[in-house]
Amino acid sequence: MLSTVTVVGVVVLAVLIWMFVRARSKDMIAELMARRAGSSKIVSRADYVEGMQRMPVALSLTADSLFYENPDLQASFELKNIEEIEYDDELATGRQLESGTRALRLRSHGATFEFILDPIDTQKWAATLPARRVGQNAATARAV
């Protein structure tokens, strides 16, 4: 009897810890977004896709860089190094996304980086950072 109660207690404790860490992670992403808001053209939540893993990040765009950050990751691109920008309803692997969400796909030096955005944020990002292909500069992309 005592061992059953102990096992149940450990499982409940593990679930509570997991829920706390998850909630705290959302708070920390909100803090990162607030810190970037003043110096960025656009800031939003997104999920960075790495293989089968999805990591929540704060995604922000300044005049010359794109940042994606969470408590465990701080990374950025200089816009001049991004060769292609796409918005799609599936990932590069062919996996379909949840209804309404879109993938922001960036290609730089042969590597692909994907971020999953909700529908409202997708519209804002597409207006601020329009899609473009290799060899197409930003001015040409806006005219198309």
Mean pLDDT in order along the chain per 10 residues (144 residues): 78 73 66 88 94 91 94 90 93 86 92 94 94 66 44
Q: Is 2-143 CATH 2.30.29.30? A: yes
pLDDT computed for residue 3 by the predictor? 82
Domain residues of the chain, as ranges?
A: 2-143
Distance between CA 130 and CA 50 in Å, rounded? 23
pLDDT computed for residue 81 by the predictor? 92
pLDDT computed for residue 26 by the predictor? 57
pLDDT computed for residue 141 by the predictor? 46
Nearest residue to 128 via CA among 104, 107, 108: 104
Nearest residue to 40 via CA among 133, 131, 138, 129: 129
The Cα angle at residue 116 between residues 121 and 125, in degrees rounded to 5: 30
pTM to 2 decimal places: 0.74
| Token pair belonging to 59 | 């995604």
